[in-house]
Structure 1
Amino acid sequence: MSPYAAEFIGTMILIALGGGVCAGVSLKKSFAHGSGWIVIGLGWGLAVAVAVYAVGQISGAHLNPAVTLALAFQGAFSWRDVPGYIVAQLLGAMAGAVIVVLHYLPHWKETEDTATKLSVFATGPAMDHPFANVLSEMIGTFIFVLALQSFGANSFAEGLNPLIVGFLVVSIGLSFGGTTGYAINPARDLGPRLVHWLLPIPGKGTSNWKYAWVPIVGPLLGGSFGGLFYQTVFKGNMTLAFWIVLGMIVVVLMLTFRFSRTYKSDKAHKMTA
């Protein structure tokens, strides 16, 4: 099997299991309905572990464009292979979302709330604040990639590494996931969001494209900086890319902060008008 096919299948498994737990908890007339955030966090962690076990020896199980970019910036992964990996991850995420749609086929009609249906596919903010939302995704993905890199300095029993990565995802979900739903993976959000937009799901509502940039930009910048931070601080190997990505983060946060102030002012004006 080619590494690209492995990334497709691994990401498909990740989203099928991760989106599946969201559907089970969120959709009506599911036995898991209402079982809560702890179940979602644990379900996503196990989804990551299973996906990494499935394809880790073939492609390295990036399953996430933020991880792929982080490794490329470190020089541990060829830039030539980056586009193919990201396309495979995105298509795999879409395939996984389609599996979730089919598995829960009669439950979509039984669930009236459109936001609940969208939450099965894509993330969204608990509080609509663009600056805080993108910062949250940056922090979550920074911690994810930094910790992921640090695992290499520790010795685990053979075969336990994927499970440790799954525990890391559970930890991030429980600690940081309550703000934006912790996408920490652009393919995990964009692929299923596209499926939500494309498929005729009963009463699905909008796909909230105005927010879709947050779980793309935040994880890509946060993850890339996490990899470069590890290379610089832990390995003592600073490169120009460290400063370029840091500069991009500062610019994005400044622009988003300014936009957030304008956005908040506009919302307040509309409420008083």
Structure 2
Amino acid sequence: MIMNTVKTTMLLAGLTALFVFIGGALGGQIGMIIAIVFALVMNMGAWWFSDSLALRMSGAREVTPEEAPELHEMVEVLSVRAELPKPRVYIIESETPNAFATGRSPEKGAVAVTTGIARLLTRDELAGVVAHELAHIKHRDTLISSIAATIAGAVTMIADMAMWSMIFSSFTGGNDEEEGGGLGEMVSGVLMMILAPIAAMIIQMAISRSREYLADAGGAQILGDPLPLASALEKLEWAAGRVPMQASPATSHLYIINPLVGGFSSLFRTHPQTEERIARLRAMAS
């Protein structure tokens, strides 16, 4: 867990350094300030409403202890172990077994599970999944994801500003050699505008994968046994390819297993390879 925390910190620092470098190279000081303000407003707004937006987009319905007594009891017991306030409990009407957690703070936490997950997993395996989601809430992963998205969004905005500035200059004739232009400078600027957002996205996805490893380890600690979560991940990965889920790309990163299965490059995956997650959990047990 310590190594993954260090890795997340280093990745955030690298993303910040990339932002400062790109901002200074392309947008200058004024452009950098404008971009970070816009990105901060948009992403912090998304973070503030993240719980309600994610639950609404996934079609989750809050259930009472009378409607789902066993699930509520499981969440309550594991929340006590995790030293967390009991989050709200939601059900998603979907045969695809999956689950996610959201909430901008532990006091605003929510755990949502699909109807299909209880049919596939044993009680211990479901407890491992719930513990994983509680670990996300405890680690404030929604906040960390928002910070990463803010910086990555700012990098993209600066690149966009520089692109439109270059286009405008080419039309007005303001980017000639007398003003310090030149073909080499233009080519390097274009490459930076293309590569900077890609680099920011790669770092952002790496942060997301690092948080999944942390949640796996944290969930195993909360439950007291890593093997039920390992077994659950194995079943969920198997089911994801056989029972497709109608999930939005905007919320797919929240789920314990990404429901949008496909040929993603490992650099652009929101989740680590499930086989690697299972191997790490089993290594914890041994």
In terms of fraction of residues, the more helix-rich structure is: 1
TM-score normalized by the length of structure 1: 0.28
In terms of fraction of residues, the more strand-rich structure is: 2
| Larger Cα-atom Rg | 2
TM-score normalized by the length of structure 2: 0.27
